[in-house]
Structure formats: structure tokens, C-alpha cells
Chain A
């Protein structure tokens, strides 16, 4: 299905995860629309299904979309392969970035850039671009010769995700707990990266977080409360402040 509707539009999304004991229903009808230029924060308790949503949008094989749809600027994503979704303009900064031993950051970035653009980047300018992006995330040039995520500290992993965000410059970015495990300096550096990306004006950001801490650095246009596999409350910035005060208790209690 292809329409011309701009945005990352999630409609009535139901997702099962494969478990030892068979499929388990995690997402129970998610509705969400992220338009170009918007920053959405999704907040919810641990285990509410935030990562499941992020993974299933990106096409992780462990998660099965049982019904619903996801369109990116009108293109249905759910029938596309993982790499086709990325080529369509979707990016996922992972909560737990994966180690790829023996594959250097430089090789990885160049291969990804070539895949996304459909052609190899200009070699002369590319290395400069990579080093500049690393520098903005407070990583030195030598970082690019290390194996992807292997032996990285928690902070280096998250910063490396933002380097990719900057260099690949997707239309829509999902950031899954990019703030978790960061000290205050790293949090600021990472947030500045996200803000640079968003400042282009026509990109969409879906910021998944457990804590309100990162929202001091990144101003969301919309806040969604996510509990038990779906959105239970929506609002503006003020909703985050209220969550800061009262936590998720009232939403979780309402389920019981």
C-alpha cells in the first residue's frame, strides 16, 4: 500500500514475541503518528513493550506483527525486509547495540552508507565526515578502527548509535532508551546529537525512555504514556513533568 501521507504512522499494531512456550502477545493495539519535524516521547514502565514496538517496527525476526499497519511517508513497512525498512528511511538506535567482532566501525559505517544511498560515498569527503561526526560525539578518530560495539563502554555504544544517526540521516529515528546507562556528560553529548538531527526540521523522532531525565535536554512536542502494550495517555511536555512527580503508578493500577 502506498499513499502520499507524510509521517511514520502506526495503526492498531498487534505484536507477538516468540518464546520457548510459544507466541506471547505483547503489543495490543498501538496507534501513533509521528509527522516530519516532530519529536515524540514514549514513556512507560519496564516490561510495558516499548522495545518490542521499536524492534517490530524495524523488523526484528523474533517479533511477529499479527495485525495492524505501519506506514512511512505512505509506504507500508510491515511487508518489507529489515534492510528495506532502513532504506525506506527508518532508523533504530538500539537499547542494547550488538557486538560485531572483527568488523571495524569504519567498514560498518561505509557499508551502511553505501547501502542506504545506493552508491559508495565519496572517499575523500567521507573519512572527514566520519571523523567530524565522531568528534561531535566526543569520540576520537581511532574509534573507527575498533570492532563495532566490541569492548565499548555503555556510553560509547550509545554515542556510536548517534554517530550512525548523524551519518545515515534517516527520515525517522526511533531511539530506544538511548539515555539509559549514560553519565551526565554523555547524556548531554548524545542529546545534542539528537537535537542537531531534529533541527533539520523535516525529520521525525520517536524517543523511548523510562526516565524524564533526557527530556531536560530534548524538548518533545508530544508525550505518550505506554503501559501494557499500548498508549494509555497522551499530552504535551507537561505530561512528562507529571510523570516525574507521580510515576506510572496510576496507569499501572488502572489495569488491575
Chain B
């Protein structure tokens, strides 16, 4: 299959987002001044950015839970559907692309509704090596499926996930970052959403020393919908960065971006970048993006940067909001006045903060599993007292 090229290379027109490239030479080692790198602590990823030896997934024990006919053969670079949705946006994704020579390939046949989620467990077993994986998901036209990636263990991991969502297909990708405290995980997720297709991406980042995910969406036809949800819990010293880029390059599409995070402990740091580009041809689209952070203790920092670039006024709606707040004393007082002790009251408020978002996902199984995970996280980390 020939490489897909956009007419006139529309990508370069956006100042929100540099053009992607498979060629590592197009992605020089960043200095930290670049827009896409300025929020990331480069010291902590210096070795990765300069890496010359990256293993092809050997640092991970990978278990795929799926019917055999859903698992395709490894795809070489340039072998479609590999490369038809994801073009590396940054050096990390380009490194991963070059190193991951045997991608996992999940293909959902046309018209097939897969009831049980496809489960892919990626367990870090060799934290001393820098390892890369690539997952390709091709959801055939009018298919329906959920793919859950579960990252655990200790690793330095680069991971690219690309999803080609066929016309009228419903695909949900859940990516759970539940690493050991030392893990470093960077990567790019990118979807191309077909005509009238529904794509959901749910990123849950809990454990790991540094997580940085670039999450891109564009549309392959009219009327596609993308809902990008995120939940993160950042503890002291952790850096968790979610970067979103929705490229409305087709008419009548929808995008909803909703990320929420809680931070506690000295040096806890979250970054959320929400870039939405509405191209001239994207008439009749509707987009909303939101990021809310709850800062539970002193010494945390949450950066939220929404960007809307609107090149046509002929749209249904476009909006964004971002907020970072602390516990509401009135809420805590109300709960405590009913006998609920301070720690429990804080847990309830944080749980409610996430439950609001989780309730919007619209997939009962995913919602239940996510609330169980959040409850476990809350039980493990009793929010400390804040100091006024």
C-alpha cells in the first residue's frame, strides 16, 4: 500500500503542532526550549533521548488475551495498516518506531462486535534496558471492540499505539499506566477515525516515575467522533504528562477531551496540553476540552494548557476549560458534620471528583473497573492534611 500523503502537506500549516516524520533525523535531540518539550524534565529523559540501543520489546513480558483470529502477524515498517494512522510527532515516537520491529497487531474484522475486551498486559521485567513496543489496532468497518492495555512492573518503555478506526466502527482503547514507582514510559498514541466512527481513548496514569504520552486524533472521513478521557494520580516526585492533539481535518466531526488529575506530595507534577486544530475544511464540527486538577497538598504543580486554533467559523461549537483547585472547605465541613472523619471526607471528595468523569465514559465495564482502581488507589494513599 502506498504511503498516504496529505494534499499540500496540510500538517505543516498548524503552528500548534510540528509536522510528524518517521525519520529520526527530522527530530533532533531537544534542548528544552521547544514548545513540545518545555514542560518535560529533560534531565530525567536525557539518556532516552540520546539512546542508541533500544530493544524490540524484550524488556516487557507481553500477554495478549484475545481470540486467535483477532491477532494479526507482525507488521514491518511501511506495511499497512502500520504507519497509516501514526506518524511520529516527536523524537521519542520516532525512536520507538525504529526500534519496535515486531508490532502487536490486533484486527477486528468488519462488522464484528467483540464482546470481551481484548487485554494486553505489558509487564516490565528488565528495567535496566530501554525497550520499545508498537501496537497496531485496525478496527474494520462497523465493528465494535474495546482494547485494554495494562502496563505494570519496572521498565524504561517507549510505546506507540496506533488505531485505524474503520467507517462506522466503535473502538475503545483503555491504557492503564500502573507501573512500579521507578518506571519511565513515553510514547505516542494516534488514531485515524473513519466516517461516522466512534473512537474512545481512556488514559489512566497512576504509577511510574515519569509518564509522557502524546495522544493524537485525526479523521479519515465525515462525522467521526473522538472522546478522549484521562485520569491521573500524581504522587510526590512523579511527573505525569498528557499531551493531546485533535486535528479536525474533516467536516462534521466531534471531539470531547476530558482529563482529571489529583496531585499530592512534594514535587508531584502534572502537565496537560490540549491542542485542538479546526482546519478550514472542518465545517460543522463540535469540540470541547476540559482539564481539572485537584491539588491535595502543598508542593505540587499542575500545568494545564488548552489551545484552540480555529480556521473556520462554520462550526457547531468549540470550547475549553482548565482549572486547578484545592479541597473545598465547605464540602469537607459538610461531610465531617455527618460524622465522617477528615481522611475519609477527603477520600470521598476525591472519589467524587473522578467519579464525575468516569460516569461520562459510557462503557459500564470500563467504568466499574476504573472506579475499583481509583478506590484501591485512594485506600492506599490516604490524602494528607493540607497546610494553610
Q: Which residues of A contact B355 (CB under 8 A)?
A: 102-103
What is the bound-complex CA distance between A164 and B345, given in angstroms?
Answer: 16
Q: Is the CB of A115 within 8 A of B339?
A: yes
Q: Is the CB of A100 within 8 A of B335?
A: yes
- B351: which of A59, A61, A87, A103 is its contact (CB, 8 Å)? A103
Q: Which residues of A contact B348 (CB under 8 A)?
A: 100, 103, 107-108, 111
State whether A101 and B353 are in contact (beta carbons under 8 Å apart), knowing that A81-B342, A83-B339, A115-B344 are contacts in the complex: yes
Task: Identify which of B27-35, B180-188, B325-333 touches chain A.
Answer: B325-333
Q: Is the CB of A94 within 8 A of B336?
A: no
Interface membership of A168, Cβ < 8 A:
yes
Q: Which residues of A contact B337 (CB under 8 A)?
A: 58-59, 82-83, 85-86, 91-92, 94
What is the bound-complex CA distance between A108 and B347, given in angstroms?
Answer: 12
Q: Is the CB of A81 within 8 A of B353?
A: no
Interface membership of A147, Cβ < 8 A:
yes
Interface residue ranges of B297-355 to A (CB < 8 Å): 328-331, 333-342, 344-345, 348-349, 351-355
Q: How many residues of A contact B (CB 8 A)?
A: 30
Q: How far is the CB of B272 from chain A (nearest CB, A)?
A: 19
Q: Is the CB of A101 within 8 A of B334?
A: no
Q: Which residues of B contact A83 (CB under 8 A)?
A: 336-342, 345
Q: Which residues of B contact A94 (CB under 8 A)?
A: 334, 337
State whether A108 and B335 are in contact (beta carbons under 8 Å apart), knowing that A81-B342, A102-B351 are contacts in the complex: yes
Interface membership of B356, Cβ < 8 A:
yes
Q: Is the CB of B352 within 8 A of A115?
A: no
What is the bound-complex CA distance between A83 and B341, given in angstroms?
Answer: 6
Q: Is the CB of B340 within 8 A of A102?
A: no
What is the bound-complex CA distance between A62 and B328, given in angstroms?
Answer: 13
What is the bound-complex CA distance between A92 and B344, given in angstroms?
Answer: 19
What is the bound-complex CA distance between A100 and B334, given in angstroms?
Answer: 9
- B333: which of A60, A111, A116 is its contact (CB, 8 Å)? A60
Interface membership of A189, Cβ < 8 A:
no
What is the bound-complex CA distance between A99 and B359, given in angstroms?
Answer: 17
Interface membership of A186, Cβ < 8 A:
no
Q: Is the CB of B334 within 8 A of A164?
A: no
Q: Which residue of A lies closest to B330 (CB)?
A: A98
Q: Is the CB of A87 within 8 A of B339?
A: yes
Q: How far is the CB of A199 from chain B (nearest CB, A)?
A: 22
Interface residue ranges of A133-179 to B (CB < 8 Å): 147, 164, 168
Q: Which residue of A lies closest to B260 (CB)?
A: A102
Q: Is the CB of A102 within 8 A of B331?
A: no
What is the bound-complex CA distance between A101 and B352, given in angstroms?
Answer: 6
Q: Is the CB of B336 within 8 A of A81?
A: yes
Interface membership of A97, Cβ < 8 A:
yes
What is the bound-complex CA distance between A60 and B331, given in angstroms?
Answer: 11
Interface membership of A218, Cβ < 8 A:
no
Interface residue ranges of B105-160 to A (CB < 8 Å): none
What is the bound-complex CA distance between A6 and B385, given in angstroms?
Answer: 35
- A111: which of B330, B334, B340 is its contact (CB, 8 Å)? B340
Q: Is the CB of A103 within 8 A of B349?
A: yes
What is the bound-complex CA distance between A168 and B328, given in angstroms?
Answer: 24
Q: Is the CB of B341 within 8 A of A115?
A: yes
Q: Which residues of A contact B340 (CB under 8 A)?
A: 83, 111-112, 115
State whether A112 and B333 are in contact (beta carbons under 8 Å apart), knowing that A100-B352, A101-B353, A102-B353 are contacts in the complex: no
11 residue pairs bridging A and B, Cβ less than 8 Å apart: A58-B333, A81-B342, A83-B336, A83-B338, A83-B345, A86-B337, A98-B328, A98-B330, A100-B352, A103-B352, A111-B335
Residues of B at the A interface (CB closer than 8 Å) are: 328-331, 333-342, 344-345, 348-349, 351-356, 359
Q: Given known contacts A86-B338, A91-B338, what 15 new A-B pairs fall within 8 Å (CB)?
A: A58-B337, A59-B333, A59-B336, A61-B333, A86-B336, A97-B334, A101-B356, A102-B356, A111-B335, A111-B340, A111-B348, A115-B339, A115-B340, A115-B344, A168-B338
| CB-based closest 4 A-B pairs | A102-B352, A112-B338, A103-B352, A86-B339
